[in-house]
Amino acid sequence: MQQKSGLGRPSFTDIDLKLLRIFAEIVRCNGFSAAQISLGMSQATISQQMRHLEERLGLRLCERGRAGFYLTEQGRQVHGAMLDLFGAIESFGTAIGDVRGELTGRLNFGTVDAMVTNRALGLDRAIGAFHQSAPKVSLDIDIAPPQALAQGLLTRRYEVALLPVRDALPGLDSRRAFSERQFLYCGQKHPLFGRPDGGITDADLARQAFAGRTYMPDERICGIDFQWSAQTAHMEGTLTLLLSGAFIGFLPDHFAAIPAREGQLRAIAPERLYFDDIFHIAFSPGRRNRTALLLADLIARECDMAGA
Amino acid sequence: MQQKSGLGRPSFTDIDLKLLRIFAEIVRCNGFSAAQISLGMSQATISQQMRHLEERLGLRLCERGRAGFYLTEQGRQVHGAMLDLFGAIESFGTAIGDVRGELTGRLNFGTVDAMVTNRALGLDRAIGAFHQSAPKVSLDIDIAPPQALAQGLLTRRYEVALLPVRDALPGLDSRRAFSERQFLYCGQKHPLFGRPDGGITDADLARQAFAGRTYMPDERICGIDFQWSAQTAHMEGTLTLLLSGAFIGFLPDHFAAIPAREGQLRAIAPERLYFDDIFHIAFSPGRRNRTALLLADLIARECDMAGA
DNA sequence: TATTCACTTCAGGTATTTCTAATGTAATGC
DNA sequence: GCATTACATTAGAAATACCTGAAGTGAATA
């Protein structure tokens, strides 16, 4: 459609969003006829619309007929680009809802693992409160290592994330949430398990196989140059390694508490061998919307309450 | 969400993209009447359409009348979200063009400064060839420090960037382009300018005020623990500092060549004081489209030709 | 007070979209 | 060959969108 003035050539999608939606539904249903009911229109209309869309794009999107329905390679690519576009439209809708003071849409939240057992945090309570305040928001929680979280914030995978912060986060807007103390543990089968703290020197520790987390700094921890022999991205991975009896490694106290109480794990010299991870709530750049702020506030409130 | 059939409540933008475009143009023209010509419709129509949009969104977007035209706070926010949406639509259009084998749309390219003087690169030739191959693509070149480039790739500010890489780029898809050797220089008025290389020790250098670039590693360079007294993000900044005679600092040879030939700058012990920056062409995750690849190929070709 | 400016509202026509019903075509299975 | 399935094409009706000219409002200005 060429238009005589003003807005310039209507970039494809102007009029054709509806056509794209129809196409999406056809793909989902895998055929024209099958999409009739869910689209609420006759098969003839669907056929027309598809032709219309294909003419506009100048591409054959799918093969159909008695032989079966399938996307062409081009159709597959268009379908992918389309889903991105729909995502952007949903974001716009969410932004509008936000301006109107409504809390709607989707919120992508990322956190590291082993946050459930952290009683000093009460993430479960924060999330409960969030759902109560914003029942229309669909909350998507993802668990990932810290670097993946930081990167996901930049790439807009998450709107908010809770993650330990070592250096300042470049280009990210964040606030301090709480800190978590990690102690050095060994498993029941480990040679050091029975030895009293007093009989363990730094040199002894430097000789043990050490299980680190991938996102830990490579430098020495608590003045000890540990011998990195295994690494995992998850607390659970570290715990498994420790329980094997072959390694020593750091775990947050709340996470180690249960196996420690049962005598499967033991903290080594906890009065001197520990470090603190400072957790921040960080926002994706330019996406600090009301919904994200609400979740952040609720998490922060839980931290404060637990800390008091 | 009640839905009588398939597609559900038409999420705002479905029908209203045209309205949003009209709104954008009104904002650009700063008033209804002023937008008449560029929109190619009567003012009455514009007024109706605006009302329509405001009703749909349930928001007052702007104040107008004899008193003047201005956006409400909500209008401002909607306008911002709208521009994001338009960006996504443009990307979709580009993706479609890509599928059709056309090279259209916009390509955002980022690079560090002082790339023009780099004869080993021939960026100008690569860009000329690019424009010849893809005349319909509007090329947007931005100059920024390496970290900003890396971040801009992640945040989708750029599709492609040319930047020096120290550590691997996390989550970025990149290929090696060329390397650039940087030598240590001082200005004509600097105390070391007249002293022969043989008479300059590492200890001497460590005592001088050093002008670094913000993205350089903090560690020692060429075994010398320089005394960081100034830093800039740009080559030009470093050059200015060096010409002042108060600092020593590193510059790529091609960039220092002209002032060096005119006796304003002098390389200090170039046979041992240098380091190499390895430049990569990096792509924004998931946006490695035909257009971006073309530019990258052309740049790589220029590098190879110059290197051979 | 009268005028102008910037927008609003309304009535009514034109154009476009959208749908349905009817019919056509091509591949498949018996 | 015949029925069936899945889609294409067409024509025409109904609904909707779109636009304009004319008349109206209210604030600023002379």
- pLDDT for A78-125, tens place per residue? 999 999 999 899 889 899 999 999 999 999 999 999 887 787 788 999
B33 touches strand C (CB under 7 A): yes
The pLDDT > 70 percentage for chain B reads 94
pLDDT-derived band at A50, boundaries 50, 70, 90: very high
Residue partners of B158: CB distance under 8 A and separation at least 6: B108, B109, B110, B142, B149, B152, B284
Alpha helices, DSSP H, located in B208-289: 235-243, 253-261
Q: How far is CA B24 from CA A40, B83, B85, in A?
A: 33, 8, 12
Whole-number pLDDT of residue A122? 85
Per-residue pLDDT averaged across A32-55, rounded?
88
The pLDDT > 90 percentage for chain A reads 58
Return the top range by mean pLDDT from A9-23, A103-117, B115-129: A103-117
State whether the Cα torsion A98-A101-A107-A113 is positive or negative.
positive
pLDDT-derived band at A213, boundaries 50, 70, 90: very high
pLDDT-derived band at B202, boundaries 50, 70, 90: very high
Whole-number pLDDT of residue B1? 30
Residue A254 pLDDT exceeds 70: yes
Question: Which chain B residues touch A90 with a CB distance below 8 Å?
Answer: 11
Q: Please state at what angle helix B13-29 crosses helix A13-29, rounded to 10 degrees.
A: 160
Question: Which chain B residues touch A13 with a CB distance below 8 Å?
Answer: 17, 89, 92-93
pLDDT-derived band at B266, boundaries 50, 70, 90: very high
Q: Which nucleotide is nearest to B69 (CA to C1')?
A: C6
- The distance of A271 to chain B (nearest Cα, Å) reads 33
Residue partners of A20: CB distance under 8 A and separation at least 6: A13, A53, A82, A85, A86
Whole-number pLDDT of residue A287? 82
- pLDDT for A148-183, tens place per residue? 999 899 888 999 999 999 877 777 899 999 999 999
Q: Which residues 172-231 of B are in CB contact (within 8 Å) with A? A: none
B200 touches strand C (CB under 7 A): no
Return the top range by mean pLDDT from A160-174, A257-271, B2-16: A257-271
Say how far apart CA A69 and CA A32 lie, in whole Å.
Answer: 8
Global confidence as pTM? 0.80
* B 58-87: CB within 7 Å of strand C: 64-66, 69
Q: Which nucleotide is nearest to B68 (CA to C1')?
A: C6
B117/B186: higher pLDDT? B186
- Check if the beta carbon of residue B243 is closer than 8 Å to that of residue B262: no
Residue B198 pLDDT exceeds 60: yes
pLDDT-derived band at B29, boundaries 50, 70, 90: very high
Residue partners of B12: CB distance under 8 A and separation at least 6: A89, A92, A93, A96, B56, B57
- pLDDT for B160-192, tens place per residue? 999 999 877 777 899 999 999 999 999 999 999
Whole-number pLDDT of residue B119? 76
- pLDDT for B232-255, tens place per residue? 989 999 999 999 999 999 999 999
Whole-number pLDDT of residue A274? 96
The pLDDT > 70 percentage for chain A reads 94
B172: closest chain A residue by CA? A151
Of the candidates A12, A14, A95, which has its C-beta nearest B18's C-beta? A14
A1 touches strand C (CB under 7 A): yes
Residue partners of A80: CB distance under 8 A and separation at least 6: none
Whole-number pLDDT of residue A156? 87
- The distance of A265 to chain B (nearest Cα, Å) reads 35
Per-residue pLDDT averaged across A217-240, rounded?
90
Asked if B171 has any chain A CB less than 8 Å from its own CB, the reply is: yes
Of the candidates A6, A40, A87, which has its C-beta nearest B5's C-beta? A40
- The distance of A38 to chain B (nearest Cα, Å) reads 4
B42 touches strand C (CB under 7 A): no
Instruction: Kindly state the helix (H) or strand (E) to which residue A302 belongs, with its residue range.
Output: helix A290-307
Alpha helices, DSSP H, located in B155-216: 202-207
How many Å separate Cα B58 from the centre of its chain?
37
Residue A4 pLDDT exceeds 50: no
Say how far apart CA B105 and CA B137 lie, in whole Å.
Answer: 5
Asked if B103 has any chain A CB less than 8 Å from its own CB, the reply is: no
Per-residue pLDDT averaged across B223-230, rounded?
94
Q: Which nucleotide is nearest to A67 (CA to C1')?
A: C27
Only one residue has tokens 């003839």, namely A44
Of the candidates A18, A77, A100, which has its C-beta nearest B14's C-beta? A18
The number of helices, as runs of H, and strands, as runs of E, in chain B is: 10, 11
Q: Which residues 138-157 of B are in CB contact (within 8 Å) with A? A: 147, 151, 154-156
- pLDDT for B212-221, tens place per residue? 998 887 788 9
Q: Would the CB atoms of B77 and A99 count as touching at under 8 Å? A: yes
Residues facing residue B179 across a β-bridge = B278
Residue A71 pLDDT exceeds 50: yes
Q: Please state at what angle helix B32-39 crosses helix B13-29, rounded to 10 degrees.
A: 110
- pLDDT for B284-306, tens place per residue? 988 888 999 999 999 999 888 87
Whole-number pLDDT of residue A14? 59
pLDDT-derived band at A13, boundaries 50, 70, 90: low
pLDDT-derived band at B307, boundaries 50, 70, 90: low
